[in-house]
């Protein structure tokens, strides 16, 4: 039985990856940071199948212990301060967690189990003010946020450990990927949650920032397969994972609102609070290398993804509203 250590298992990707690896028969160790209120929402359904280890990305001793306990064949570093907008008000925290702590993870692996295969969650946000359309593995980086800058560090330190210590370290340059488990502050989920609340009469407007930004949005469940595939190859390498399509936030609104028979222009309000100090205007990835070498391809289209998210948010919001009504009557 192979074993895997996942840092960031409580997040969107960590939860899908854990499901995927459990299905493949892996022993899955999940590293989570201690919090006063535990956050198992995304992994509640598989919580008992996971070996839990307490650890924080900023604390090397805890990472060394996590690698020692799990003795992993594969290590997936998905943990990060992952919200771009939060990286301006918290640039140092973002740098500590999203950049420097990648070295902590790599050091823990190098010291305790240097033969383990390592996956680093790099990001299309590194392309920022894009130097080439579409973006591929060789496109130069031009990050536009403290988060993007931090991810560039994480990417290069992973390449450096591969080249310096002969470690099997891969960097997956993943374009935006979403799901019903996406955090509520990210634009896709903010929109699908807003659509559900508006449709059910619980909200009458949705406040957003820049509607012209374009992203290459895929389904997280498809993308975790690519992470695993990278670690099954004969040689470590870096890969772009994307859908090769781009859509604006405005198109996202059209798809989500029209699905429930509404017109987004009746509800959306532009709020300068959500406009960023520097924007990434356009992302679209060329994932031909991953298609060719990994045999990876996306299964869920953009429209299917957004409809899936609206459906799940309608169910959840309706259940929450019913519960609130029962509580109010009791």
Site residues for ligand G4F per CB under 6 A:
82, 84-85, 123-125, 175-176, 185-187, 190, 208-210, 213, 215, 249, 274, 276, 279-280, 283
Provide the binding-site residues for ligand NAP, judged by CB under 6 A: 7-8, 10-14, 33, 35, 39, 56-58, 78-82, 97, 121, 123, 174, 176-177, 183
Q: Which does 99 bind (CB under 5 to 8 A by kind): ligand G4F, ligand NAP, none?
A: none
Q: Which does 114 bind (CB under 5 to 8 A by kind): ligand NAP, ligand G4F, none?
A: none
Least distance between ligand NAP and beta carbon 79 (Å): 4
- What the block records as the tokens of 273 is 């609070």
d(CA 177, CA 127): 16
Q: Which does 85 bind (CB under 5 to 8 A by kind): ligand G4F, ligand NAP, none?
A: ligand G4F
Q: Which does 97 bind (CB under 5 to 8 A by kind): ligand G4F, ligand NAP, none?
A: ligand NAP
For 319, residues 6+ apart whose C-beta sits below 8 A from its C-beta are: none
- Whose CA is closest to 69, among 86, 85, 90, 52? 52
Catalytic (active-site) positions: 123, 125, 147
Q: Where are the alpha helices (DSSP H) in the chain?
A: 12-23, 60-70, 91-94, 101-112, 146-165, 187-199, 220-230, 249-259, 288-289, 302-329
- On whether the CB atoms of residues 104 and 64 are closer than 8 A, the answer is no
CB-nearer residue toward ligand NAP: 97 or 268: 97
For 152: left if phi > 0, alpha if psi spans -120 to 50, otherwise beta; the answer is alpha
Least distance between ligand NAP and beta carbon 263 (Å): 28
Least distance between ligand NAP and beta carbon 26 (Å): 18
DSSP letter string, 35-59? -SS---GGGGGGGGGSEEEE--TT-
CB-nearer residue toward ligand G4F: 113 or 307: 307
> Virtual CA dihedral for 86, 34, 31, 173, nearest 10 degrees?
0
In this structure, are strands 268-270 and 218-219 parallel, antiparallel, or unpaired? unpaired
Least distance between ligand NAP and beta carbon 177 (Å): 5
CB-nearer residue toward ligand NAP: 199 or 221: 221
CB-nearer residue toward ligand G4F: 62 or 298: 298
In this structure, are strands 268-270 and 206-208 parallel, antiparallel, or unpaired? parallel
Angle between helices 101-112 and 146-165 (to 10 degrees): 20
Closest-by-Cβ residue to ligand NAP is: 11
Least distance between ligand G4F and beta carbon 55 (Å): 21
- What the block records as the tokens of 55 is 């650890």
Q: Which does 11 bind (CB under 5 to 8 A by kind): ligand G4F, ligand NAP, none?
A: ligand NAP
CB-nearer residue toward ligand NAP: 184 or 324: 184
């Amino acid at each position: 039985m192979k074993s895997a250590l996942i840092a960031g298992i409580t997040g969107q990707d960590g939860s899908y990856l854990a499901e995927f690896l459990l299905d493949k028969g892996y022993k899955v160790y999940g590293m989570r940071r201690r919090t006063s209120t535990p956050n198992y929402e995304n992994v509640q359904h598989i919580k008992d199948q996971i070996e839990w280890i307490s650890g924080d990305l900023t604390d090397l001793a805890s990472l060394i212990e996590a690698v020692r306990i799990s003795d992993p064949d594969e290590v997936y570093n998905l943990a990060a301060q992952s919200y771009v907008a939060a990286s301006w008000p918290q640039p140092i925290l973002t740098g500590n967690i999203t950049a420097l702590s990648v070295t902590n993870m790599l050091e823990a692996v190098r010291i305790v189990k240097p033969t383990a295969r390592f996956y680093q969650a790099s990001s299309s946000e590194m392309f920022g003010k894009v130097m080439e359309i579409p973006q591929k593995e060789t496109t130069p980086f031009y990050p536009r946020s403290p988060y993007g800058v931090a991810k560039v560090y994480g990417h290069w330190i992973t390449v450096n450990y591969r080249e310096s210590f002969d470690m099997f370290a891969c960097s997956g340059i993943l374009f935006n990927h979403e799901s019903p488990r996406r955090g509520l502050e990210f634009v896709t989920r903010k929109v699908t949650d807003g659509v559900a609340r508006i449709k059910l009469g619980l909200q009458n407007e949705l406040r957003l920032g820049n509607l012209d930004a374009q992203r290459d949005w895929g389904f997280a469940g498809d993308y975790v397969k690519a992470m695993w595939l990278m670690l099954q190859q004969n040689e470590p390498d870096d890969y772009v994972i994307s859908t090769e399509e781009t859509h604006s936030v405005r198109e996202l609104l059209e798809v989500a609102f029209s699905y429930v028979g509404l017109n987004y222009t009746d509800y959306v309000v532009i709020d300068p609070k959500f406009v960023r100090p520097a924007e990434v205007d356009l992302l679209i990835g060329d994932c031909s290398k991953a298609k060719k070498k990994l045999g990876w391809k996306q299964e869920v289209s953009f429209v299917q993804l957004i409809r899936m998210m609206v459906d799940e948010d309608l169910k959840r919001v309706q259940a929450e509203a019913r519960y609130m009504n029962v509580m109010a009557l009791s």
